[in-house]
Amino acid sequence: MSQASSVPAKGFVRPPAARRPVDWFPFWMILPAMLILLFIQVYPIFYTITLSLQKRQPAGWVFVGLDNFARLLRSSAFAESVGHTVVFLAGYTVLTLGIGFIIALLLNNGSVFSGTYLTMIFIPWILADLVVGVVFRLLVLPDYGLFSGILQDPSLFPPKGLSVLTADAARPWIAGFPFPPSPAMVYLILAATWRSIPFTTILLLAALQTINKEVLESARIDGATNWQTIRFITIPLILPTMVVTLLNLVLGGVNGVGMVFSLTGGGPGTSTEVIGYLLYSIGWGSLDFGRAASLSILMAFINLALIMTTLRLTRLRIKD
Amino acid sequence: MSTFQSSSQKKGSTFQQRSLMLTNIALIVICFLMLLPIGTTLLISFKREQDVLRTPPVIFPCDTETSAFDLTACRWSIEGYERVILPQPSDTSPTGFVLAGRMLKTYLPNTLLYATATSFVVVLLSAMAGYAFARYRFKGRDLLMVTVIAITSFPLLTNLLALYQMSITLRKALPFLDERIFLIMVYSGFFLPISIWIAKGFFDAVPRELEEAAMVDGCSPAGSFLRITLPVAAPGLTAIFLLTFVGVWNEFLAGYLLISKNSLKPAMFGMYDFLGQNLVNAQLVAAACVIVAFPMVVVFLFARRTFFMAMTEGAVKG
């Protein structure tokens, strides 16, 4: 970046202005990528917007204005799925960041085997979310899963044991808001956390390794305890990375549905139906593409806000 | 990253030695917990149906009537794998049998095709665009770069409705067009933005004096890109290739919805299909899981440094 900034504007081969007024080389280099992006990314955005304003009638698509949005926002399924998403995101981001930070601190302690540990911890990340869902589902299959023996034991989980994927949620403490979450939701959070820990760990570890060791050393000489060093030096120094990691986790959590598909299928009832899964079930379950498109637009706004915040925080330098 | 080189030179006080030992113990426990779900899936995949369907469930199929664990009595079996790949005797095949299971015969080759084709397209196009963004200052460059990154705000999931309708329209309008081409384009479109940014970062790091020297010696801009810059930035392009490959391999929803013929669907669909049909036969589902996930784990173990590098680059800077 610094090298790029040392050179003034215009193409870096400066041709005699009279012979080659415009250098078309960069244009042709960028064109193919832009064409694909236009066709696959930009056009569908506008397509989704028009879809969200229409409704399919037997005669064909009819313009209905904002009716899809109104129907969506009024539906109880939407409110419920927002609640489920909030519970899911809160549990999963806090757990992932907390555990990832602890693992990163441990890995940064200078053990000879840190590289080996990191490799092993990283394997869950390479698995597809669909596969992770299956792996976790096999563990708690009613009666036959390896953990079912423990979980379904009435002496450990009164009154009649716990069958994770079929047990109903407790009565919500706050009317309408799904808290405490159903056992299936807790389990979904655990599975999602398990898969996201590697990602969090490596980002936080990279940040930890940029901290000057002398700063920590001098704090220790001044009599700071381990906890004080972490609390007042390490965490403030890596806070920007933590926030970026958090935003990345939220993005992944909002848009990742593969695990819901294979682990719970949204159930039992609708207790794990997060907003992304609702999009699928409105769109392809009840074939209401207009309403699903209006949900897509709302989700795109959430994503846009998250991405823009991330960019602002990383101070992404476009002008160099 | 210093983690991969060696430990810091902590010697001396027993306090430090003890804290290092505690660190190691804690990390071993964490590694065990992280690998536990994978280990149990492997265990299940090598069990017989009778051992899978037992209540209360057993962890190792190694118990006998007299003892709880007897290593010589273990009843390991590859029944699950056999039922996934379905080897069947055949006179025409040189090995004497053919693999009739759809997972191995149809779905995995499809996934391999989609992942490879997408990765090549993405590497080529992102290298070209990233190079132009890194080296040239032209009108609209800054705006284009912001647009490219802003596009990532629209994830595959929210664009999928429109893409699904587009795929239906395409199939009707151009029935002769292979529907796989559309899927590969969709995947390419979704991995391009981040790849362009990663590529730009790597080209920024290549000293432009190298290229200028080549051009002074009579190389064309395209020639200096192909002969000088590309080889130097090769590790970055490898990272883009691998990230895209794994991303496409692991993607489920687009491959499931945008392809209409079952014979062209990818392995993740096969996995989902298995899950719907055979949940009671856990050894079968587990074996399918292992077969689908194993190639990616191998790729990761061989190229883990590339992955670590690409992740920290891509997530923090781009």
Q: Which of B7, B149, B155 is the closest to A303 by Cβ?
A: B155
Whether the pLDDT of residue B139 is over 60: the answer is yes
d(CA B314, CA B130): 14
What backbone torsions phi and psi does residue A117 show, to the nearest 5 degrees? -60, -45
Residue with the larger pLDDT of the pair A182 and A95: A95
Give the model's pLDDT for residue A161: 73
pLDDT tens, residue by residue, A216-252: 888 888 888 888 888 888 998 898 889 889 988 998 8
Looking at residues B246-264, what average pLDDT do you find?
93
Whether the pLDDT of residue A3 is over 70: the answer is no
Q: Residue B193: pLDDT band by 50, 70, 90 thresholds?
A: very high
CB contact under 8 A, B192 and A37: yes
Checking ipTM against 0.85, whether it exceeds it is: yes
Q: Residue B124: pLDDT band by 50, 70, 90 thresholds?
A: very high
Whether the pLDDT of residue B54 is over 70: the answer is yes
Contacts of B252 in chain A (CB under 8 A): 128-130, 258, 261
Whether the pLDDT of residue A9 is over 70: the answer is no
CB contact under 8 A, B318 and A316: yes
d(CA A140, CA A151): 8
Whether the pLDDT of residue B7 is over 60: the answer is no
Percent of chain B with pLDDT over 70: 94
Identify the structural domains of chain A with CATH numbers, from first to last: 25-65 (no CATH), 67-314 (1.10.3720.10)
| Residue A169 and residue A190 in contact, taking contact as beta carbons nearer than 8 Å | no
Looking at residues A89-111, what average pLDDT do you find?
93
Give the model's pLDDT for residue B294: 94
- Measured between CA atoms, how close is A150 to chain B, in angstroms? 9
Q: Which of the 8 DSSP states describes residue B65?
A: S
| Residue A297 and residue B155 in contact, taking contact as beta carbons nearer than 8 Å | no
Q: Tokens for A176?
A: 């309408």
CB contact under 8 A, A117 and B193: no
Among A3-7, B11-15, B64-68, B222-226, the range scoring the smallest mean pLDDT is: A3-7
Looking at residues B152-175, what average pLDDT do you find?
89
Question: CA nearest B121 in A: which residue?
Answer: A33
CB contact under 8 A, A283 and B282: no
Give the model's pLDDT for residue A19: 52
Whether the pLDDT of residue A2 is over 80: the answer is no
Question: CA nearest A44 in B: which residue?
Answer: B162
| Residue A108 and residue A209 in contact, taking contact as beta carbons nearer than 8 Å | yes
d(CA A187, CA A142): 14
What backbone torsions phi and psi does residue B138 show, to the nearest 5 degrees? -135, 170
Give the model's pLDDT for residue B11: 46
Map out the domains of chain B as residue ranges.
2-85, 102-317
Q: Which of A7, A23, A25, A38 to mutate to test the interface with B (most CBs of B within 10 A)?
A: A25
CB contact under 8 A, A103 and B30: yes
CB contact under 8 A, B129 and A314: no
| Residue A44 and residue B162 in contact, taking contact as beta carbons nearer than 8 Å | yes
Among A35-49, A204-218, A246-260, B92-106, the range scoring the smallest mean pLDDT is: B92-106
Q: What is the mean pLDDT of chain B?
A: 85
Looking at residues B249-257, what average pLDDT do you find?
93
Task: Please count the residue pairs, one from chain A and one from chain B, whose beta carbons lie less than 8 angstroms apart.
Answer: 323
- Measured between CA atoms, how close is B97 to chain A, in angstroms? 29
d(CA B169, CA A184): 39
Contacts of B215 in chain A (CB under 8 A): 13
The 8 Å CB, 24+ separation contacts for B52-58 are: B52/A144, B52/B281, B52/B282, B52/B283, B53/A144, B53/B280, B54/A144, B55/A143, B55/A144, B55/A149, B56/A148, B56/A149, B57/A143, B57/A144, B57/A145, B57/A146, B57/A148, B57/A149
Query: Closest by alpha carbon to A164, among A269, A262, A268?
Result: A268
Looking at residues A155-167, what average pLDDT do you find?
76
Contacts of A45 in chain B (CB under 8 A): 154, 159, 162
Q: Which of B27, B126, B282 is the closest to A106 by Cβ?
A: B27
Q: Which of the 8 DSSP states describes residue B125?
A: H
B146 in contact with chain A, both atoms CB, cutoff 8 A? yes
What backbone torsions phi and psi does residue B164 show, to the nearest 5 degrees? -65, -45
Among A163-172, A204-213, B282-291, the range scoring the smallest mean pLDDT is: A163-172
Q: What is the mean pLDDT of chain A?
A: 85
Among A92-106, A192-206, B15-29, the range scoring the smallest mean pLDDT is: B15-29
Give the model's pLDDT for residue B6: 41
As a CATH number, domain B102-317 is 1.10.3720.10
Give the model's pLDDT for residue B305: 87
Q: Which of B4, B215, B316 is the closest to A314 by Cβ?
A: B316
Q: Tokens for B157?
A: 């999931």
Looking at residues A88-94, what average pLDDT do you find?
94
- Measured between CA atoms, how close is A288 to chain B, in angstroms? 10
Whether the pLDDT of residue A49 is over 80: the answer is yes
Q: Which of A51, A112, A134 is the closest to B161 by Cβ?
A: A51
Q: Tokens for B125?
A: 């196009």
In B, residues 251-270, which contact A (CB 8 Å cutoff)?
Answer: 251-253, 257, 268
Whether the pLDDT of residue B251 is over 70: the answer is yes
Looking at residues A114-122, what average pLDDT do you find?
91
Q: Residue B60: pLDDT band by 50, 70, 90 thresholds?
A: confident
Among A11-15, A62-66, A190-194, B71-75, the range scoring the smallest mean pLDDT is: A11-15
Which residues are CB-neighbours of B20 under 8 A, at least 6 positions away?
A: A109, A110, A111, B10
Give the model's pLDDT for residue B156: 86
Give the model's pLDDT for residue A310: 77
Question: CA nearest A288 in B: which residue?
Answer: B161
Q: DSSP states of A227-272 as a string?
A: HHHIIIIIHHHHHHHHHHHHHHHHHHHHH--HHHHHHTTT-STTTT
| Residue B35 and residue A120 in contact, taking contact as beta carbons nearer than 8 Å | yes
Query: Closest by alpha carbon to A297, among A284, A283, A311?
Result: A283
Give the model's pLDDT for residue B94: 75
CB contact under 8 A, B148 and A37: yes
